[in-house]
Structure 1
Amino acid sequence: MDLDPVVLARLQFAFTISFHILFPAFTIGLAAWIAVLEGRWLFSGKDVYHTLSEFWTKVFAVSFGMGVVSGIVMSYQFGTNWSRFSDIGGNILGPLINYEVVTAFFLEATFLGILLFGRDRVPRWVHFLAACMVAFGTLLSAFWILSANSFMQTPAGYEVRDGRLFPTDWWQIVFNPSFPYRYFHMVMACFLTTSFVVAGISAWHLLKGRFQDHARIALSMALGLIAVLAPAQILVGDMTGLNTLEHQPAKLAAIEGHWETHRGAPLILFAWPDQEAEMNHFEISVPKLGSLILTHEWDGLIRGLKEIPPQDRPPVWPVFWSFRAMVGLGLVMLGVAAVSLWLRVRRRLYDTRWFLRLLVLTTPIGFLAVLFGWFTTEIGRQPWTVYGLLRTEQSISPAITGGGVLASLITFFITYAIIFTAGTYYIVRLFQRGPQGAVKPADPAAGRPKRPLSKADEELGRPPPRPQSRPAE
């Protein structure tokens, strides 16, 4: 059997990046959430914020570690599988990725030590500063990574010499045409991802009758952010779509499922794109609404895929459906935001059990939306590694074999299954234990109060010692 190294290398990178992106999508928002909790503890002095911050910092530490491990694996593939891409684009993409390591990662790693081990050892304001620096580091990391990826989508500020890309204007390279829209779109997606996790875990604790004060505060703060970001994300997504229409018309045509170029294009809600026949089956659409959304005009011109050479078209089916999955999840987020505001006004936010169950079910919704968004973005860029300049088949390492890529892909799959299953299990156990030090419901069967756990017992998970009875005199 002939194994295509290009297909397998793309599959391997898609597999590793799909795992990796889940952790930054969570930790970027989680770092900001911890910084807010630390700030409220510093200025209010309420222990509930201290306990919440300590609890979510443990979750952050495990997630951050798994994100680092999965990110290192991705970077090695630039040398093993995509050496031609690294050779041609390394003069631009190499410094951008290096800036992320030298500035953002080192900043995060330095202050993460204070955040994890400096609690109760440094002044509160120093610990708050460390939390803010870690949060800033995650945003700075996203800045450089999104800048590099956006250059691959909309290259600018370069020149081609001897078949290689060289920088001519770093300002244009960093702030390329799609970068501002994609950066804010991604950061808001990360904040929404974290908010739904915090809301879901808090709702679960409320349903179980555990950590009521902590769960109410966390739930209120998370839903408040969702109520702001869910509609704002739709507006930012609209601006991102307009930018894609201008700079990547082939991707936009695949997203919308338009084969013909015409004015007053419909909004296609459902279809089964057929790339070989260049048509859609079972199409359900709304007349003219596509042009109104994309061009803000009833008779706006939308370019179809038939105007683009077949060899330059992206795979239509996965782009078409991954975009609709992302938008559908975004509408669910918007619905959750609207219901939360209605319940908040009625003062039923914490005791409406069907809504709390809904929040538990939607805990992973942000992760799914991020994945489908990245599928849309990255598959929609095909068949280019650097849009319009470097094709994917021209980026592969010349001496690579399909068997070698398949063997490493299987190795990655097994390793990820072991490591990330263990890490996810530990995070779930942290969620189940809840904020340590919080007041738990009293045990009605207990005849007398229990002695508090010592720090050693608490760390080892030992049961509280039984009170010793005084010997008869």
Structure 2
Amino acid sequence: MSDLALTLARIQFGFTISFHIIFPAITIGLASYLAVLEARWLMTKQSVYLDLYHFWIKVFSLCFGMGVVSGLVMAYQFGTNWAGFSNVAGGVTGPLLAYEVLTAFFLEAGFLGVMLFGWNKVGPGLHFLSTLMVAVGTLISATWILASNSWMQTPQGFELIAGKVVPVDWWQIIFNPSFPYRLMHMVIGAYLATALLVVATAAWHLLKQRDHASIRKMLSMGLWLILLIAPLQAFIGDMHGLNTLKYQPAKIAAIEAHWENKGNEPTPLILFAWPDMQQEKNHFVLEIPVLGSLILRHSLTEQIPALKQFAPQDRPNATIIFWTFRVMVALGLLMILLAFSSVWLRLKQQLYQQPLFLKFAVAMGPAGIIAILAGWFTTEIGRQPWVVYGVLRTAEAVTPHPASEVALTLGLFVIIYLLVFGMGTRFMLRLLKAGPSTGEALHGDAISPQLDHATAFTLAPEFHPETKTPASAQSAKHQAGTQADDQSKDQ
């Protein structure tokens, strides 16, 4: 197979998985967020939590659907474009993905209908259990997917027999050396991406002078979560880096664009550079002495492996992952800044009125998704030239299609994905722009706890179903009451 066909096949897989990873990440975060909202509503009976639940479940449903559709394509590509990988490593990755379907997807699918449409059919306790099971299902799904991917990064628990991977210890396969760090890093990344989306939505509405209890509660809850887990993500990222240094030293050398060690000098931290893979050096270098050893070795004297210690054909592309890693880290630092800025504004009682902070929060809305993609690119491109690290090279895993065929299918994927998921994303943005409505559960919502479907569609939209008063007046009355009850708590 030509190098061009291999490159196009890698681009095609990277393009489709980049779309796919966005939607499961949001559903992982939103499922847990919805469980928290419903739990708070059951405990406090404050309608603001129910209003937020009914608002965000629409976004969750849309992202869940797009995640399922984009995920189907991934499974087919293992057979169409990566037959060598399936043939050699299918004995491990096949069962892991099957376990994900059996234990996670079926759990989510079984309770999703009750979660979406069961308000009038089941009691509040059972409905909350359904929401909780969907949230648990998303986490189980992430566990199996990350187990499979982590095994490809740090494979163990197998034997190579007749050129094929044969499992010998499933415990070692699942709980491989990088699995705990990758799982925690990904799940917390999903929570951060969701929290930033929630915060950005609330901040946008506050900038538009749409200030009521639901909007304030969204902003407050999201910022508390970011404050809690953004520093934790940095700590887990450090542990993940130490693990990667141990098991994939070439990846760390490429991430740091570290070409060679000089005597016994500690490793510097390169802040800015343009790594040149052909000339084996960096251009436009800005570095801090010793800091690389301190961060990566937790030492002032120890060095890290250098790229020139590895054969040229075994080196990841430092030009790409040097920058994707720094994009991820920079966005993580901005998340921490956003969180601590919110604490300062809370103390000054200006959290909901400071326009500069609210604009910052809106700008950070897509930061979580961008950070996930940047981290994913770093992980996957940094594993090259291996698809199963140290076991199976990417060039040996690809199906030998002509470059013209791969280019054609890649072009079709780009057109179809931009059309389908572009429309889905546009619709999601319209939902976010509409924002939560106070007393939303009292109107003709398909998942309303007050109304069944037939009643919802027969009611005139301008009248409240119980009092027959204009909905606008009812909403204003409800808003005034809930804002008075909750405004003091938000601070």
TM over 0.5: yes
Q: Select the residue among 283, 289, 300 that pairs with 1:287.
A: 289
Asked whether 1:66 is paired with 2:54, we answer no
Amino acid at match of 1:420: F
Deviation at 1:207, TM superposition (A): 1.8
SS at match of 2:254: helix
Change (3 A) 1:457 1:277: farther
1: CA distance between counterparts of 2:190 and 2:438? Answer: 29
Deviation at 1:466, TM superposition (A): 11
Q: Deviations over 1:155-186 (max 9, x none)?
A: 01111000001111111100100010010001
Count of matched residue pairs:
451
Q: Deviations over 1:277-306 (max 9, x none)?
A: 111111111100000000100001211010
Counterparts in 2 of 1:42-57, with a 5 A limit?
A: 42-57=42-57
2: CA distance between counterparts of 1:466 and 1:28? Answer: 39
Gaps of at least 5 residues in structure 2 are 441-454, 471-491
Equivalence for 2:391: 389
Equivalence for 2:436: 435
Equivalence for 1:415: 416
SS at match of 1:302: coil
Change (3 A) 1:217 1:466: closer
Counterparts in 2 of 1:238-387, with a 5 A limit?
A: 238-261=238-261, 263-387=265-389
Q: Is the 1:211–1:438 Cα contact (8 Å) retained in structure 2?
A: no
Equivalence for 2:172: 172
1: CA distance between counterparts of 2:456 and 2:432? Answer: 20
Equivalence for 1:81: 81
SS at match of 2:287: strand
SS at match of 1:393: helix
Q: Is the 1:111–1:133 Cα contact (8 Å) retained in structure 2?
A: yes
Equivalence for 2:487: none
Amino acid at match of 2:423: A
Equivalence for 1:17: 17
Deviation at 1:410, TM superposition (A): 1.3
SS at match of 1:209: coil
2: CA distance between counterparts of 1:202 and 1:431? Answer: 9
Change (3 A) 1:204 1:459: farther
Deviation at 1:460, TM superposition (A): 8.4
2: CA distance between counterparts of 1:459 and 1:273? Answer: 65
Measured on the aligned residues, the alpha-carbon RMSD in Å equals 2.0
Q: Is the 2:196–2:222 Cα contact (8 Å) retained in structure 1?
A: yes
SS at match of 2:286: strand
Q: Deviations over 1:99-119 (max 9, x none)?
A: 111111111111111111112
Q: Deviations over 1:204-234 (max 9, x none)?
A: 1222222510011111110000001111111
Change (3 A) 1:38 1:466: closer
Equivalence for 1:470: none
SS at match of 1:280: strand
Amino acid at match of 1:159: E
SS at match of 2:396: coil
Q: Deviations over 1:31-84 (max 9, x none)?
A: 000000010111111111111101100100000000111111111000001001
1: CA distance between counterparts of 2:355 and 2:84? Answer: 56
Q: Tell me whether 168-177 or 413-422 shows the greater mean CA deviation.
A: 413-422
Q: Is the 1:3–1:403 Cα contact (8 Å) retained in structure 2?
A: no
Q: Is the 1:205–1:212 Cα contact (8 Å) retained in structure 2?
A: no
Q: Deviations over 1:384-410 (max 9, x none)?
A: 000011001100113x22111111111
Q: Is the 1:119–1:127 Cα contact (8 Å) retained in structure 2?
A: yes
Equivalence for 2:402: 401
Equivalence for 2:204: 204
Q: Tell me whether 224-233 or 253-262 shows the greater mean CA deviation.
A: 253-262
Deviation at 1:459, TM superposition (A): 9.9
Amino acid at match of 1:413: V
Query: Identity, % of aligned pairs?
Result: 53
Equivalence for 1:195: 195
2: CA distance between counterparts of 1:211 and 1:343? Answer: 17
SS at match of 2:160: strand
Amino acid at match of 2:155: P
1: CA distance between counterparts of 2:279 and 2:459? Answer: 65
Gaps of at least 5 residues in structure 1 are 440-453, 468-473
Deviation at 1:458, TM superposition (A): 8.2
Q: Is the 2:47–2:439 Cα contact (8 Å) retained in structure 1?
A: no
1: CA distance between counterparts of 2:242 and 2:158? Answer: 24
Counterparts in 2 of 1:96-111, with a 5 A limit?
A: 96-111=96-111
Deviation at 1:320, TM superposition (A): 0.5
Q: Is the 2:272–2:287 Cα contact (8 Å) retained in structure 1?
A: yes
1: CA distance between counterparts of 2:180 and 2:257? Answer: 26
2: CA distance between counterparts of 1:296 and 1:396? Answer: 39
Q: Tell me whether 353-362 or 220-229 shows the greater mean CA deviation.
A: 353-362
Q: Deviations over 1:348-393 (max 9, x none)?
A: 1111111111111111010100010001000000000000110011
1: CA distance between counterparts of 2:347 and 2:267? Answer: 41
Deviation at 1:121, TM superposition (A): 2.5
Deviation at 1:457, TM superposition (A): 7.8
2: CA distance between counterparts of 1:142 and 1:420? Answer: 22
Equivalence for 1:446: none
What TM-score, normalized by structure 2, do the two folds share? 0.89
Deviation at 1:120, TM superposition (A): 3.2
Q: Is the 2:48–2:438 Cα contact (8 Å) retained in structure 1?
A: no
